[in-house]
Chain A
Amino acid sequence: MKIAIPVDEKNMESNVCASFGRAPYFLIYDTETKESVFIDNSAATSTGGAGIKAAQMIVDNKVDALLTPRCGQNAADVIKSADIKIFKPTSNSLKDNIAACVDGKLSLLNEIHAGFHGQGEN
């Protein structure tokens, strides 16, 4: 399966980026081929709707699971429409998170916060 993680740097020693929509890069890791690809996040410079654009990109990359500490409502809608699961990373290490994901040890991300423009349940 393919796992996507927002990252601050384009290498495996990078930590997980605190933001999803404005993360500078994404790691796309294929658990079968064990290949890692780092892609630039074109949404990072958007003045608005960054989460949506980043989510569209994740979907277009045919990802199966997204690991992110935070995700806005709008981005979550896009990801979930594509039947991609969103998990909460347990540490800052990319390798540890990938291993945990493969072992089914990660929990789903439940706290979806209101997006930059939306207000969630209000």
Chain B
Amino acid sequence: MKQLLILSGKGGTGKTTVASAFIKLARAKAYADCDVDAPNLHLITGWDSEPKKTDYYGLPVAKINLELCIECGQCIEHCRFDAITAEPHYMVDPFTCEGCGVCAYVCPAEAITMEPAVAGELMLYSDDEKVFSTAQLKMGSGTSGLLVTEVKKQMKSATIDAELAIIDGSPGIGCPVIASLSGVDMVLIVAEPSISGISDMERIINTAEKFEVKTAVCINKYDTNIQNTEMIEHYCEKQGLPFIGRIPFDSKAVKAINNGQTIVDIYCTSGEAVKEIYHKTIDLLFEKGGC
């Protein structure tokens, strides 16, 4: 099974719009949403059934047993994250607690324990033909690289028989993106023709390059700034990266998404552009040779 990852660097460039169109066109039997901070793919992939849900545990959270607490203040003194307060009683702010365990270690009354804490939820949608793996990180939770890895693992283990898996990646360049990249065969970067978008795109290309994965670039909403679009194309040429296509800004795309449809479910200019990009991407992905 070949894995195609869709990344963007910056948020809001249209990753999910493109990923959902690809899933439709490929009639993909396996796909995943790795944007665990703000997953959106489930909103337009039309599953009626309820997913199987699994709790995801992150770092533990400190808990103070008030019956044992002698209010000595050692925990407050040692907590580097200002997560413990004494009013109205000694308590740990679960959102600020980093799970280091120092307070539990220093407490002379052994009143603090590190409790497992649910940091998110994994969801698996499946039927006889296809599987869709996604997750939601809880508010205030820390690094989500592990949850992303769990999402991909869940997809792989539930997949019955698929030639191609499409993964909607996380925005940014940090831990979750690196976890998304692990084990994929190709990355398609959806870029945005703005100064901030270009800067983010360059950073993501740098990160993807280190994984020795086939990388290609396309531009979404290209007509919002032709000059920047040309800059991106020029950059790709210089870097030796295949530039696969341009997608125009299209208000019909917004309409489709709002109706819970992908842009290839209706006839529109952005949908037509994405169809071409899809075919070129698949050709590149299944091409013999290369990495």
Using CB atoms, name the residue of chain A closest to B146. Answer: A47
Question: Which A residues, 74 to 92, have Cβ-Cβ distances below 8 Å to chain B?
Answer: none
Residue B179 interfacial (CB < 8 Å)? yes
Chain A residues with CB under 8 A of B26: none
Q: Are A47 and B183 in contact (CB under 8 A)?
A: no
Instruction: Please pick, from B145, B183, B207, B212, the residue contacting A48 in the complex, using a CB distance under 8 A.
Output: B145
The answer to whether A116 and B207 have CB atoms under 8 Å apart is no
- Asked if residues A18 and B145 are in contact (CB atoms below 8 Å), the reply is no
A113-B211 in contact given A18-B182, A70-B182, A122-B206 (Cβ < 8 Å): yes
**Number of chain B interface residues as a range:** 20 to 34
Task: Report whether A116 and B212 are in contact in the complex, using a CB–CB cutoff of 8 Å.
Answer: no
Question: Does A40 reach chain B (CB closer than 8 Å)?
Answer: no
Residues of A within 8 A of B211 (CB): 70, 113
Chain B proximity mask over A32-63: 1 for CB below 8 Å, otherwise 0: 00000000000001111010000000000000
**CA A45 – CA B175 in complex, angstroms?**
15
What 0/1 pattern do residues 104 to 121 of A give for CB contact below 8 A with B? 000000010111110010
Q: State whether A19 and B142 are in contact (beta carbons under 8 Å apart), knowing that A113-B210, A113-B211, A117-B175 are contacts in the complex.
A: no
Please count how many residues in chain A sit with their CB below 8 Å of the partner chain's CB atoms: 17
Question: Which single residue of chain B is at the shortest CB-CB distance from A114?
Answer: B210
How far does the alpha carbon of A120 sit from the alpha carbon of B146 in the complex, in Å?
A: 20
**How many residue pairs at the A-B interface have CB separations less than 8 Å?**
43
* A116 adjacent to B183 (CB under 8 Å): no
**Closest CB in chain B relative to A111 CB, distance in Å:** 6
Distance between Cα atoms of A118 and B212 in the complex (Å): 17
Output the nearest chain A residue to B157 by Cβ-Cβ distance.
A8
A19-B182 contact given A45-B146, A111-B212, CB 8 Å threshold: yes
Among A47, A111, A116, which residue has its beta carbon within 8 angstroms of that of B178?
A116
Asked if B111 is an interface residue, CB under 8 A from chain A, the answer is no
Residue B143, interface by CB 8 Å: yes
- Give B168-213 interface residues, CB cut-off 8 Å to A: 174-175, 178-179, 182-183, 206-207, 210-212
Q: Is the CB of A22 within 8 A of B149?
A: yes
Contact of B58 among A47, A70, A120 (CB under 8 A): A47
Interface residues of B in 117-156 (CB under 8 A from A): 119, 142-143, 145-146, 149
A47-B58, A47-B145 known; 15 new pairs, CB 8 Å cut-off, are A18-B182, A18-B183, A19-B149, A19-B182, A19-B183, A47-B119, A47-B142, A48-B143, A48-B146, A48-B175, A113-B210, A113-B211, A114-B207, A115-B178, A116-B179
Binding site for A on B (CB under 8 A): 57-59, 119, 142-143, 145-146, 149, 174-175, 178-179, 182-183, 206-207, 210-212
